[in-house]
Structure 1
Amino acid sequence: MVTNLQAAQAALGDLIEVAGQIAAFTGAGISTECGVPDFRSKDSPWRRLRPIEFDLFLSDALMREEAWRRKFALDDLYAHATPGRGHYALANLVASGKAASIITQNIDNLHQASGVPAERIIELHGNGSYAGCLSCGARYELLPIRRAFEATGAAPVCAACGGIVKSATISFGQPLPKEALARAYKASVACDLFLAIGSSLVVYPAAAFPSLARETDARLVIVNGEETPLDAEADLVLRGDIGDIFQPFAS
C-alpha cells in the first residue's frame, strides 16, 4: 500500500505509461469531492432518503409517489455538482486511447459531463439524469416530470403506452442491465491494467470485475480512501484522496 502522495502518483503513472489497454471502474468515492454524497457514510442523505425497493415501486402507486419525492430531494443536494479531478483524469485516458471504457457504479452523469462519450461509459446502476418507461422504454427528461409532480403529486405515467415511468437508475431488487454487464465483462477480460477507483468493492456482481481482470493477468490498481476486500489481490493499492492522487493526470 502506498500512502505518500508523490510516490502514489509516480507508481500510478508508471503503470499507466506501460499499459496497452486500461479499464477503469469507478464508485462513489470519485464523486465525493464534487459534492455528490456517497451511500455508505454514517450521515449520508441516502440513508434518510433511501430509494424505494423495486417491487414496492411497481406494486404501489403511493410508493411510486414517495420514490419520486425522495429522488427530487436527493437531486437537489448535488444539482450543481461538476466533474472532479478523477473524472477529468479518466476522460484524458479515454481521449488518448489508453482507456477503452469506464465501468461505473455511479448514477450522477459526471463521467459524461467530463467529456467522455456516452458510448464509452458502462453504467451498471443506470443514470439518474433522466427517466424511462418500464414498458416501452420511452425516454423522459426530468424537468417536465418534476413540474407535473410538484403540481399534482402524482407519479408520472408514459404518454405513449400508459406504463410506469421510473428514474433510469437501478433500484434495490431490480436486475442489473444485461447489456451493461456483458460489456463490463468484455472490458475486464480485454484490459491489461484495471483501475478500481473510489469503490468499496463489496457490491456484487459489480465488485467481481476487478478480480476477473486480475484472473486474466491484468494488473490491478485500487485507489480508495479506505481498505477494500480486494486489496490483497491488487498489484498496487493507493490510499488517500482520489482527486489529489489523480491531479497530475487531470490536465
Structure 2
Amino acid sequence: MLAVFEKAIGKPPEELSLPSAVAGVTNLKSREEIAKMFRSWRPDSTLYSLPNGNFMALSRENLCPLHPRSVVVVDDVFCIFVGILENTCDLRHHYGLSRQATEAMVVVEAYKVLRDRAPYPPDQVIKDLEGKFAFILFDARAGTLFLGRDRDGSAQLQWGVADDGSLVCSDDPKIITEACGKCCAPFPPGCIFMSETGLTSFDHPLHKVRAVAREDPNGNICAVIFQVDLYTRLHSIPRTGSAANWAGATVVEGE
C-alpha cells in the first residue's frame, strides 16, 4: 500500500526531514514521480486519485497470507488495511456491522465514532483493536489523515517526506527509500497519527512520542526513529465516556 499527501494535510513531523536538511540531499522524489514509480513497479495496482495531487494506492503483489491487504471506501472515507484483527467478530457486534464486514470496514467505523462522537480521545477508540495490523485512512470531506500500527509492529508501516514536504506512507520499505531517501523511518508500533493531533501512543497516551536522531561515524544525522518517552508525561484533560460509549475521488485501475 502507498499513500502520499501534501504537507497541508499530512503535516509530517519536522524530524523526518532532518537527514536531508543536514546532508543537503535534494534528490527526493515528487508526488508525481512517486505515483509513476509505484505504477511501474506494481502494474496490478489500483490508484485512488484525490484532490491536489494526493493519492492512495493498493497492490496485491507479493501478498503475505499473514498480512492480507484490503481497501474500502465508505462515505468519502478511504481506508487501506494490512494485516488481521483477531477480535473482528467482537468489533463487528460492537459497531453493529454485518458478518461480511472486513477489517478495513471496522477501522472506518471506529474512525467515524471518533469523528462524530467527540470528545473521545483517539486512543480510546483504537486500543481495542487486537492483532497484527497497519492502516492508512483518509476522510476526504474533513481532510483528515489517520494512520495506525499494532503494538508489536508486526505489520510493516514506514513513513517519509517527499521533495515538497509531502508525507509518504507505505508498507514497502523499498518504495519509501526510493521515494524519500534517508528522510524516512518506521512508523512507531502502538501509535496513531492524525492530521489535527499529530503522533501519539495509544498504549501510552499520556506520554510523549519523541524523535531520536542517529548519527553516522562522522557525526552526521543518518536516520531518525520515533519512540515513546516514558519519562515525559503529557498534560491530560478529564476523559468522559466508557467502553460502552466509545466506540470526491477517481479510481484508476491498473493495466
Q: Please give the TM-score of this superposition, normalised by the length of structure 1.
A: 0.27
Please state which structure has a larger fraction of its residues in helix.
1
Q: Please give the TM-score of this superposition, normalised by the length of structure 2.
A: 0.27
Please state which structure has a larger fraction of its residues in strand.
2
